[in-house]
Every structure is written in C-alpha cells, then in structure tokens.
Amino acid sequence: MSQENEKFLIFGNPIEHSKSPQMHNSAFDHLNLNSFYDKYLLTDGKKIKEIFNSENIKGANITVPHKEDAFRLADEVVGIANEIEAVNTYVKKDDKIYAYNTDAPGFLKAISDFGKIKSVLILGAGGTAKAIAMALKEENIEVRILNRSAEKLAFFKAQGFKTYTWGNFQMNHYDLIVNSTSAGLNNEDYPIKKTTLESIFLNAKYAFDCIYGKDTPFLKLAQAEGLKAKDGEDMLLYQGVLAFELFTDTLLDKETIEVMRKALKKDPVEDTIDNEEQK
Ligand SMILES: NC(=O)c1ccc[n+]([C@@H]2O[C@H](COP(=O)([O-])OP(=O)(O)OC[C@H]3O[C@@H](n4cnc5c(N)ncnc54)[C@H](OP(=O)(O)O)[C@@H]3O)[C@@H](O)[C@H]2O)c1
C-alpha cells in the first residue's frame, strides 16, 4: 500500500479540462489516503523529467502532447510502452522514473464486454491509434488502419499493419470499428465520408469511439445500423485505474473503481494550475 501524503500530477497542454485529478482524488478520499493529485500545465515537454524530479512527486500522468517526450526521457520504460513509443504514466521508485502506457491495457479492458473480436479497423493514426493497435496486436487480433492522410501511417507500416488512406481503402469485414480520430470531438463530423462509414458498419458487429461523454455522429450511426456501440469513458476510466494501481502498488476493488467513474462524470474542476513559467 502507498504512503500517506504523496503528491501526483498530470502534465499536459492544455490541461484545464482534465478530469484525471477528480478521478484520482476521489479514490484517495475513498481509501482514506491523504495523497493529492493536481494539474500541471507543461508547455515544453523536454522539461518533463527535470520538473518531475524537482516537484518531489511519487507519480504522474502525461497527456497530449507530451507522451513521446515522456517516453524518451524516462529512466526505464516498462512493457508495451516500448512498442508504442509513448507513455502516459510515470512512477518514481528508488530515485528512478519508471514509465508505462496504461492507455493500451485500458482500451483492452474497455472492449472486454464486447463479444469475441478477431479483426479490427481503426480509423485514425494518431497517438491513441498507436496504443490501441499495439495492444490488439499483442492479443493476436488482426488490425488494419484507415487514416485521412498518409503521413502518420509510416509507424503502422513499419510495425507490419495493413494501412489505407481514404483514397485506396478496400471494404472488408471487421468485428470491431474504432474511431480514434478527433472527428466529432468539437464538431459534428464523421471520421470518414458517411456513406463509406455506413458500408463499413454493414460489415461489422461492434463500434467503439475513443471520444467520451458525447453521442458523436460515429456512435449515432453505429447504433442506427444495429451495432453494439460504446464511447471512450471506460478507456479513460481504466487507464486511470491502472495508473492508480501503479502509483499505489495496490489492486483496486470494484467499489473504488465505481467511485472513480462517478467522479469522471462531474464537470472538470476549474482551479489554479501550476506551470513551469511560475518556477
Ligand atoms: N477515452 C480516452 O481515454 C482517450 C484517450 C486518448 C485520446 N482520446 C481521444 O482520441 C482522439 C484522438 O486522440 P489522439 O491523441 O490520437 O489525436 P492525434 O494524435 O492528434 O491524431 C488525430 C487523428 O485524427 C485524424 N483526424 C483529425 N480530424 C479528423 C477529421 N475531421 N476527419 C478525419 N480524421 C481526422 C487525424 O488524421 P490526419 O493524420 O489526416 O491529420 C489523426 O489520424 C481524440 O478525440 C481524443 O479525445 C480518448
């Protein structure tokens, strides 16, 4: 079990809307731990290690756009994060920074209530797609990637995935379609032309949108076509649960996980945010 009064941070830019502090602090409260988790607006990702060490913290989460810098600067990278080349969790042990990627196992946990999945089409080729693709590959699930443009597909090609752009996509059957693009996040866009998405869904069983807390056009269309569909809430929750378990060296029970889920559903707390310019 962890010590009392430990401090944790989430580094990102922007960071004001992050719900990670309320999720982690709700679990600390529920478990009667005096530890505290706060937001940190980090503009220069190259300073993450220096700031992590100077803040005297036990652990941190890292979000957009610093996951790759955090990977490069960690002392020890553990597990699948080595393949993804991006990390979202730092834990200090014996004066060393151990780095993990909990987005990947968090995604696997989130889709575990779908039926058996053998093939997946991922829409999008950003950082989230990398974590999802590598997690599925490790489970021996066949994965293909479809992205709007070619540039970000290089990573996936090098890892042996079959990739498509909008221009050369070939229809196929997939058990699961994942939207890992930001289409639908702050707009009503589909991640690909609506008619193409309709055809993709006609040949699929399940749909998962990484975006959470919003009925996106992708999700609405999947439901209209009779697919079992869910948003990204569980993915966000379980990456947090797994990070918390690494921070505290404990396994969380169902009750604490539900406390964390409830905290996620609240609006983000607007508060003072630390940043490196204040130092
Ligand atoms: N639930 C969770 O825990 C969780 C965790 C992480 C991220 N997310 C969500 O996942 C999404 C992706 O995050 P990320 O960090 O991977 O982003 P990212 O690295 O910026 O990648 C964004 C991807 O979306 C594509 N894209 C953007 N706008 C598009 C549009 N209008 N139509 C089609 N494709 C579009 C981009 O294609 P191009 O290459 O052509 O630009 C790129 O492949 C975000 O919505 C984020 O909120 C959720």
Catalytic entry in 19, 39, 58, 67: 67
In a domain, 276, yes or no: no
Q: Please give the Cα distance from 7 to 24 (Å, whole number).
A: 11
DSSP designation for 188: -
In the reported structure, the alpha carbon of residue 91 is separated from the centroid of ligand 1 by a whole-number distance in angstroms of 26
Q: In the predicted model, is pLDDT for residue 1 greater than 60?
A: no
Residues 76 and 24 in one domain: yes
Residues 6 or more apart whose Cβ sits within 8 Å of residue 188: 217
pLDDT of residue 5: 85
In a domain, 157, yes or no: yes
> Which atom in ligand 1 lies closest to the alpha carbon of residue 131?
16
Which range of residues forms the domain containing residue 48?
7-101+236-268
> Which atom in ligand 1 lies closest to the alpha carbon of residue 233?
1
In a domain, 1, yes or no: no
Q: In the predicted model, is pLDDT for residue 148 greater than 60?
A: yes
In the reported structure, the alpha carbon of residue 127 is separated from the centroid of ligand 1 by a whole-number distance in angstroms of 8
Counting Cβ atoms within 10 Å, is residue 250 exposed (0-12), middle (13-18) or buried (19+)? middle
Q: In the predicted model, is pLDDT for residue 85 greater than 80?
A: yes
Q: What residues line ligand 1, using a CB cutoff of 6 Å?
A: 64, 103, 124-129, 147-149, 152, 180-183, 185, 189, 191, 210-212, 232, 235-236, 239
The preferred substitution site among 15, 85, 178, 182 for testing ligand 1, maximizing ligand atoms within 8 Å of CB, is: 182
Question: Could you tell me where the beta strands, DSSP code E, fall in the chain?
Answer: 7-12, 36-41, 59-62, 76-77, 89-93, 96-100, 119-123, 142-147, 162-165, 176-179, 206-209, 228-230, 274-275
The CATH number of residue 165's host domain is 3.40.50.720
Nearest of 10, 88, 6, 99 to residue 51 by alpha carbon: 10
Residue 271: pLDDT band with limits 50, 70, 90: low
DSSP designation for 151: G
| Mean of per-residue pLDDT scores for the chain | 95
> Which atom in ligand 1 lies closest to the alpha carbon of residue 192?
33
Q: Please give the Cα distance from 235 to 117 (Å, whole number).
A: 17
The 10s digit of each residue's pLDDT in 55-83 is: 989 999 999 999 999 999 999 999 999 99
Q: Provide the sign of the torsion angle of the four alpha carbons 208, 227, 222, 17, taken in this order.
A: negative
The CATH number of residue 254's host domain is 3.40.50.10860
* 67 tagged catalytic: yes
In a domain, 81, yes or no: yes
In the reported structure, the alpha carbon of residue 212 is separated from the centroid of ligand 1 by a whole-number distance in angstroms of 12
Residues 143 and 214 in one domain: yes
Which residue's C-alpha comes closest to atom 31 of ligand 1? 183
